[in-house]
Amino acid sequence: MSRCSSSPTNSVYRRAAKNSTIPSGVKTASTQQRDKATESEDRGQRTTHCLKLQKSRLVANSVKPFNFLDEADAELLACLKAEGRTMSHGPGEILIEEGDISGHVVILLDGEVSINTTDHQGNPQCLATLSDGAMVGEMSWLEKRPAVADVVTTTASTVLKLDFAVLDKLRQRQPTMAAAWQRLVAKKLASQIQNAWIHRYEGPGGAARPS
């Protein structure tokens, strides 16, 4: 029995298949499916991020920054003013210096201060700008450690300085006032933690509102 030779038509098909290439810019069906899946995943991630960002901003708008003057009752404020030192400062004066143990907590009664530090390259950075009712230096008092940033007046300001020694003795002399003071310090720290969690969703460049 003689062997069957390949038909001319089959030869043409084989040569066409061998020499054929997919034109540049033309995607196969499988590639198109993968691209659609990737696009769908990207849209889902963007949607999730946007929802988190919207939620954080809604919560941030409902959370008021801690204001000592609003939170302290008249009795505690009168006690602290009697125990502390009310002082006036012009713009550009350093109230607390980074790296030093200042020896006092500062409550801003009137005016404005900036919280400044330097990065690893030595470049100055403004971390926050605070106004009336702000309290700074409480962590140095609690942990007896140096300040982690400069506190500098940006306008004419009036501050109440509470020496560490006065705050330490307040517990023995006026335990009720000492307890009220410590509750406000705890509330301020809790507010900072809450704001830190809120603004972690802002992403790079997101402005965190100081508390």
pLDDT, tens digit, 9 for 90 and up, residues 44-77: 565 555 555 455 454 444 456 899 999 999 999 9
How far apart (Å, rounded) are the C-alpha atoms in residues 137 and 149? 10
Q: How confident is the model at residue 121, as a pLDDT?
A: 86
Range with lowest mean pLDDT among 15-19, 38-42, 143-147: 15-19
The torsion of the CA quartet 164, 165, 169, 174, rounded to 10 degrees, works out to -60
Which ranges of 86-199 would DSSP assign to H, the alpha helix? Answer: 138-143, 164-173, 175-199
**Other residues' Cβ atoms within 10 Å of the Cβ of residue 1:** 3
Q: Give the tens place of pLDDT for each residue, 96-145.
A: 999 998 899 999 999 999 999 988 888 889 999 999 999 999 999 999 99
Q: Positive or negative, the Cα torsion across 141, 142, 145, 149?
A: negative
